[in-house]
Amino acid sequence: MTRPHCLLVLGETELVLDASGALWWPAEKTLVVADLHFEKGSAYARSGQFLPPYDTRATIRRLEVLLVRFRAERVIALGDSFHDGGAGERLDEEECAALSMLTRCTEFTWIEGNHDPEPPAWLGGRILPEMMIGTLMFRHIPGEPGIMGEVAGHLHPAVRVSRGGVSVRRRCFVSDGRRLLLPAFGAYTGGLDVRDEAVTALFSRGHSVYALGKERAYLVKAVAA
């Protein structure tokens, strides 16, 4: 039995929290992903750690699948899309072509992150420090508490769920109905425990945690203020 999508109302906007870690805004046909960290793997090669050089194509492929599934018309990447300033030059032709394709077939917006203040110049799509659509504000680093309708990334939240002696750790969405934190989408991106002060300090009125499963996201935790 598959359950319906995991829905979240942010302010007055109805959003879908997808199992992939992406956010889908049906009314605006907009797909939002955070912290892609392209070429994180190759960034380690300089220090002699040869991680499998397939993380960028793995991330791009997952993104392509989502675009087709949702028939998205607009994509917002919430910053830290490239792991570092040199990441753009380390992409190979195939990966560059795939990325250009993505940015040409949708209205693509790159929000600036702290890892990639300047995404590569050849890249299609708009580059913005932050972006407002309707009542929602999209930015990389979450701002002061109390802001209504903010969608942010940056923190890579993850949660550990334990039950009956078994425990799993998953990336997660975190929200209090006013602000929403997205999990990192990149193939090699790790996670910060949601109990960390960096996360809890953002939600003065309590918050809910939605862990990513295989089929959908699940509400696994409701933390009171």
Q: Point out which residues bind other proteins (CB under 8 A).
A: 3, 41-42, 45-55, 57-58, 90, 92, 158, 160-170, 187-191, 193, 195, 211, 213-215, 218-222
Nearer to other proteins, 129 or 190 (CB): 190
Question: Shortest approach of other proteins to residue 99 CB, angstroms?
Answer: 16
57-68 exposure pattern, b = at least 16 Cβ within 10 A, e = fewer: bebbebbeebbe
At residue 171, the 3 state secondary structure works out as: strand
Question: Which residue from 37, 4, 20, 1 is spatially nearest to 171, judged by alpha carbons?
Answer: 20
Nearer to other proteins, 126 or 195 (CB): 195
In the chain the first and final C-alpha atoms are separated, in Å, by 34
Nearer to other proteins, 57 or 74 (CB): 57
Q: At what angle do helices 55-70 and 93-105 cross, to 10 degrees?
A: 20
Do 191 and 171 contact (CB within 8 A), yes or no?
yes
Nearer to other proteins, 149 or 157 (CB): 157
